[in-house]
């Protein structure tokens, strides 16, 4: 059993200033996620789920409160340190894939490794492996424009997992996909969770959320519900 949860969010607030108006996007959110958990964050737009996601993804810093990722205090980190955390510990999957156009699938997948300073040969090998893992081993040289939406999202997932991060953050990963490919992509993410990666996904679709054993519902910047469906499945997953 891990002594400390992988993610500890402790009474975090995030306040945006828009001119004279203060917007409390997060209002005292506390949350713990153990290593290997798969969590879905749900909520209407404006509920603060995207803000929470940005904070968890180290793209943003809380106005107050603490965020510990793998035992490290993230809220006090510099921009460069945050970049390193994103590079090594986190992997992102976006709703609109966010692949670099006119760049091959392999090169897209290599991108995190480029900034991690991995030598070119090893990069290529690991990118090919990651693409193999998402079932695109035969699409290495294809450009995003030559791939279907589902394939593009799988490339994005390969990019997220190529650096073998602790946490995969997926922000509406199926938002731009039809229901059939959504199933494929979710199966892939579920597979990563089963293999021991912590997966946090943001969605507003209840049937997508059902893939996750734990569902957190946000409303007005607060956690409204935090439910574990099958308590047995989440605890004690070996990492």
Partner 1 sequence: MSLWETLRIALNALARNTLRSFLTALGIIIGVGAVIAMVAIGEGAKARVEQAFASMGTNLLIVSPGSSSTRGVFGGSGSMPTLTWDDLRAIREEVPSVRIAAPQLRSSAQVVSDEENWTTSIYGVTPEYFDIRSWAMASGAAFTASDVDTASKVAVVGQTVVEKLYGSGADPVGRVVRIRNMPFQVIAVMARKGQSPMGQDYDDGVFIPVSTYRAKIQGGLQTYIAGSIFVGAISADATSRAEREIRSLLRDRHRLAPEVDDDFQVRNLTEIASAQQEGTRTLTTLLASIAAVSLLVGGIGIMNIMLVSVTERTREIGVRMAVGAKPRHIRAQFLVEALTLSVLGGITGVGLGLLAAGRLAAQFGWPVQVRPDIIIISLVFSGLVGIGFGLYPAHRASRLDPIEALRYE
Contacts to partner 1 by CB under 8 A: 54, 57, 59-60, 79-80, 83-84, 86-88, 92, 94, 98-100, 102-103, 111-112, 114-117, 159, 163
Q: Rounded to an integer, what distance in angstroms lies between the CA atom of residue 148 and that of residue 40?
A: 25
Q: Closest distance between partner 1 and the C-beta of residue 40, in Å?
A: 21
In the complex, least distance from residue 140 CB atom to partner 1, rounded to whole angstroms: 17
Q: Between residues 64 and 103, which has the closer beta carbon with respect to partner 1?
A: 103
55, 147, 161, 228 from 179: Cα distances, Å: 29, 17, 23, 25
HSE (side-chain half, CA atoms, 13 Å) at 1: 2
Minimum Å distance from CB 71 to partner 1?
A: 20
Phi, psi (5° rounding) for residue 60?
Answer: -140, 160
Q: What pairs with residue 10 in β-bridges?
A: 66
Considering the complex, state which of residue 156 and residue 223 has its C-beta at the smaller distance from partner 1: 156
Q: What is the DSSP string of 7-70?
A: EEEEEEEEEEEETTEEEEEEEEEEEEE-TT-EEEEE--TTSSHHHHHHHHTTSS--SEEEEEET
The 10 Å Cβ neighbour count of residue 117 is 8
We find the least distance from the C-beta atom of residue 91 to partner 1, in angstroms, to be 8
Nearest approach, Cβ of 54 to partner 1 (angstroms)? 5
d(CA 183, CA 205): 13
Nearer to partner 1, 84 or 226 (CB): 84
Q: Between 154 and 159, whose beta carbon lies closer to partner 1?
A: 159
Q: Pick between residue 151 and residue 234 the one whose CB is nearest to partner 1.
A: 151
Rounded Cα distance, 195 and 239, in Å: 8
Return d(Cα 52, Cα 232) in angstroms, integer. Answer: 26
What's the closest the beta carbon of residue 39 comes to partner 1, in angstroms? 20
Among residues 88 and 219, whose Cβ is nearest to partner 1?
88
**Residue 54 or 233 with smaller CB distance to partner 1:** 54
Beta bridge partners of 218: 223
Shortest distance, position 232 Cβ to partner 1, whole Å: 34
């Amino acid at each position: 059993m891990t002594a400390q949860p992988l993610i500890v969010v402790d009474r975090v607030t995030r306040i945006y200033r828009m001119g004279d108006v203060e917007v409390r996007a997060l209002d005292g959110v506390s949350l713990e996620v153990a290593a290997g958990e798969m969590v879905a964050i749900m909520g209407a737009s404006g509920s603060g789920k995207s803000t929470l996601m940005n904070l968890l993804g180290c793209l943003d810093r809380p106005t107050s409160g603490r965020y510990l990722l793998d035992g490290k205090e993230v809220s006090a980190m510099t921009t460069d340190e945050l970049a390193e955390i994103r590079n090594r510990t986190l992997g992102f999957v976006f709703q609109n894939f966010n692949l670099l156009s006119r760049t091959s699938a392999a090169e897209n997948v290599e991108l995190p490794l480029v900034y991690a300073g991995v030598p070119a040969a090893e990069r290529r090998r690991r990118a090919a492996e990651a693409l193999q893992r998402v079932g695109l081993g035969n699409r290495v040289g294809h450009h995003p424009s030559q791939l279907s939406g589902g394939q593009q999202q799988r490339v994005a997932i390969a990019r997220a997992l190529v650096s073998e991060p602790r946490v995969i953050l997926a922000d509406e990963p199926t938002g731009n996909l039809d229901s059939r490919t959504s199933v494929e992509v979710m199966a892939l993410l579920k597979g990563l969770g089963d293999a021991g990666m912590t997966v946090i996904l943001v969605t507003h679709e209840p049937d997508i959320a059902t893939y996750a054993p734990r569902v957190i519902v946000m409303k007005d910047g607060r956690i409204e519900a935090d439910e574990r469906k099958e308590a047995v499945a989440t605890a004690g997953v070996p990492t």
